[in-house]
Amino acid sequence: MFTRNWKHLCRRYSQAVTFRTSEIYPAQHNENQIGFFYTIKPDLCKQLFNHGGLPKSFMKQTKTFTETAIMVRQPALDVMDCIRASDMNKPVIRYVLYGEKGSGKSLTLAHLLHYALEEGYLILHVPWVSEWLRRTPRHKEMTNSQTKEGFVDLPLDAAEWLLHFKTQNQALLKNCEFKISKDYEWSKREKTEAGSPIAALVEHGINRVKYACDVIDALLLEIKILSNSKQCKTFVAIDGFNSFYYPMTRLNTPTKKKIKPEEVTLTNSFLELTKNDWNNGVVVLTIDQLAVPDENQESFLPRYLLYKKGFEHLDPFVPIEVGRYTDKEFLSCANYYRDRLWLRGPSDLETELKFTSASNPYNFMLQCAPL
Amino acid sequence: MSILIKRSKSGCFNSACNVKLWRLNSTSADSALKKGEEEEEFRVLDILKKRDKMQRRVVKRTDVQPDRIDRMATNQNWGNVWPGPKTFHPSSVPLPIRQGYVPKGQAPPGKKANAELMKIPNFLHLTPPVIKSQCEALKQFCTEWPNLLNSEESIDKHYPLEIISSDYCHASPSIRNPLARVVILRVKLADLKLDKHSTDKFKRLVGDRYDPKTDLVTITADRCPTKVQNLDYVNYLLTACYHESWNFEDWEKEKTEDDMEYYDWDNNASKRSLIDWYLRIKNESKIMNDEEYKAFDISQIENGAQYKAAVSIYMNEGENPQTVQEYSIAVRKLFGLPQKKLF
């Protein structure tokens, strides 16, 4: 590894040739390390991203490169700075990551998730909202909600999310004793007492899929109460948030009636979560053009993608732009690909690729694939 | 065969006729020989009349006068040659014009007997010197251009209304062009006396025809067949819109926040969220109704005014990276977060 890096140093790259940093704790990343890749340990990676969180194309790349390496970039550092500077006693501050297609929003979110894990936050991560509302395999498991009139449940998705929550937070759930504050009665025979740990609630939701959505509601309420009482600090990360505000989903009731996002219980749960009526937490959202169908993808700016309702719900929020690679980052990425023997060819290839991919991270990755 | 000699013929041929009487029995193969001897001795019967025809073709027409072109002086007054609109007359126009389909390897057809040149309208009656003399003749009926209307601004000030129409000349048997009926009226909205409500109503009535960048209202009319009718229609439209925009209908009172053409921060949810957030910080959260929200004074909230300005610009001006950036700066100040560092 070291000799290979040294070989690269000997080449005639005038810019910074090192592209790796050995700093694996995101909390200690600072601007000296912008443009450098750091690797996440495989078991951490599994813990955080087993049920989603990294884009599919990136997962393929990690398999090829046999490591998960994320570049340290300015937006992530910006959010980390703001989190450190913010007062936890004030209501939660919401950060909205926006940017063009393929500019690195989901990966920035992944970086921040790692940071949250290391800092001991309780993580509430929704990997991709459109998965629930728009991706409909042949038969989507949907039921009418029992507790709320006229709403639709997505029990399997809810159960999957609870499992994801459990894996991400297994350390915290084991160590700390987070107790729920009130009774929850699911049916005549099933009841979760006040004072039992949250883990029990989660288990119940995973086992009894029928009540999974209501469990999520209860869970989020409890977590808010816990955060308010300073027992834990919470990190909420939602990817593709604007999908909640798009007028239509791809779901249909058995009577072929189209469902709007606000008629789905999961939507309401997470919208409640992102309100700023609780404190001691951080909310990071990404809004993506890919979360909505092609006709509505004209712009990537927040107001357009969130529609009026979404904007009013989130206002005031801190918009953070995730842009394309800078020159330094681009070269660093190219060096990384060369190191992984993904990109071969003369060194002039970099200038050409920079032009053709317009320094867009996703495009660059795609274009290196056949090379 | 014998032929009676008609003594009524001219006497000089009498003896010749006598000679010919005998010759008629001979064959036509000898006619070539006989031509030379014809005038001396016998008449020859000319069935096909070949010789007469040949003679007729050779005769020239001598009664054509020379072209007028050849009799023109170079310093003549052209206005006298072509006083009014006239079909093209090739021998009166001293120009070597060629017009028409160009066959391969040849020049285009000349002007003599050229139907194409004759079909199209020509303006040989309106050459510049002729126009000049006509203008001179008209000048005695004209007054001078006003001295003070010497700049664009003064013309706009005194004559704010513009009517634009085009005249066409068709190069076909009919010189009428259907596009000539189009009339465009242009006026600056600032020149019309409108107050806040009526400008908004006028803009909504007029719709796309208003250009916010140049503040011009452009009304085009082409639905009537003649220009005069379209002109009347355009004037009618302008007066109707103007008077309607001053009227206040009963149903206009039902205007909601969604219909507003600009974003008034005070009436909107953004103010409510800001106030809620502020009260929560101070642990004073309470439920307020709309009136109290509107009446709340945001000067207590630090950086609140900047936030209000940023949101108003964001909504009113449309979304672009610049406005988003300003919004982000304002929100960060509000929350007490560090500004974005540029690397």
Residues A48 and A177 in one domain: no
Q: Specify whether A301 is located in the same domain as A354.
A: no
* Shared-domain flag, residues A265 and A138: yes
- Band the pLDDT of B233: cuts 50, 70, 90: very high
pLDDT along chain A (371 residues), means of 10: 52 48 74 81 82 80 83 86 84 86 85 87 85 68 72 82 87 77 77 79 83 84 84 86 80 73 83 84 85 70 79 83 84 83 77 79 80 71
Of the pLDDT bands very low, low, confident and very high (cuts 50, 70, 90), residue B271 is: confident
| pLDDT of amino acid B16 | 47
B152-249 folds as Double Stranded RNA Binding Domain (3.30.160)
pLDDT reading at B161 higher than 50: yes
Residue-range domain boundaries for chain B: 78-142, 152-249, 260-335
- Domain shared by A5 and A102, yes or no: no
Q: Quick check: A302 and B328 CB within 8 A? A: no
A242 and A273, same domain (yes or no): yes
What is the helix (H) or strand (E) element at residue B184, kind and residue range? strand B183-188
What average pLDDT does chain B have?
A: 80
Count CB atoms within 10 A of the CB of residue A39.
16
Q: Distances from the Cα of A276 to the Cαs of A224, B48, B52, B229, B326, in angstroms?
A: 11, 121, 121, 63, 22
C-beta atoms of B331 and A82 within 8 A:
no
Which of the pair, B97 or A66, is modelled with greater confidence? B97
**Is pLDDT above 50 for B11?**
no
Percentage of chain A lying above the pLDDT 70 cut: 91
**Distance separating alpha carbons of residues B231 and B220, to the nearest angstrom:** 9
Whether B148 has a pLDDT exceeding 90, the answer reads no
A26/A120 same-domain check:
no
Q: Give me the residue from A74, A302, A312 closest to B324, CB to CB.
A: A302
Domain end, chosen from A280, A304, A321, is at A321
CB A98 within 8 A of CB A241: no
CB pairs under 8 A between A and B: 76
**Contact at CB, B270 and A91, closer than 8 angstroms:** no
B57 pLDDT above the threshold of 70 = no
Predicted pLDDT of residue B12: 46
**The pLDDT value given to residue B284:** 66
Q: A35 to each of A21, A75, A186, B12, how far by Cα in Å? A: 9, 12, 51, 131
More confident residue, B111 or B49: B111
Are residues A167 and A311 located together in one domain of the fold? yes
- Residue B241's pLDDT is 92
> Higher model confidence: residue A4 or residue B337?
B337
**Across the interface, do A93 and B335 touch by the CB < 8 Å criterion?**
yes
Considering the domain architecture, whether residues A100 and A222 belong to the same structural domain is answered as yes
Could you tell me if A307 and A237 lie in one domain?
Answer: yes
Domain range holding A240?
73-321
Predicted confidence at residue A16, as pLDDT, reads 36
Other CB atoms within a 10 A radius of the CB of residue B105 amount to 5
Residues A228 and A357 placed together within one structural domain of the fold: no
Mean pLDDT, range B26-43, rounded to an integer? 58
A320 at interface of B, judged by CB pairs closer than 8 A: yes
Same domain for A115 and A251, yes or no, is yes
Task: Retrieve residue A95's tokens.
Answer: 């950060």
Name the domain count of chain A: 2
Three-state SS at B339: coil
Contacts with A317 from chain B: Cβ below 8 Å: 331
Of A81, A315, A317, the CB nearest to B338: A81
Question: What is the predicted pLDDT for the residue at B38?
Answer: 52
Task: Give the DSSP letter of residue B82.
Answer: S
Using the beta-carbon criterion (under 8 Å), do A312 and B341 form an inter-chain contact? Answer: no
**Residue B218: helix, strand or coil by DSSP?**
strand
| Mean pLDDT value of segment B245-260 | 81
What per-residue string of b and e applies to B74-90 under the rule 16 or more CB within 10 Å gives b? eeeeebebbeeeeebeb
Same-domain status, A13 and A53: yes
A299 touching chain B per CB within 8 A:
yes
Which pLDDT score is estimated for A133? 77
| Confidence label for B135 from pLDDT (cuts 50, 70 and 90) | very high
Q: What is the pLDDT of residue A346?
A: 77
Instruction: Name the more confident of B259 and B125.
Output: B125
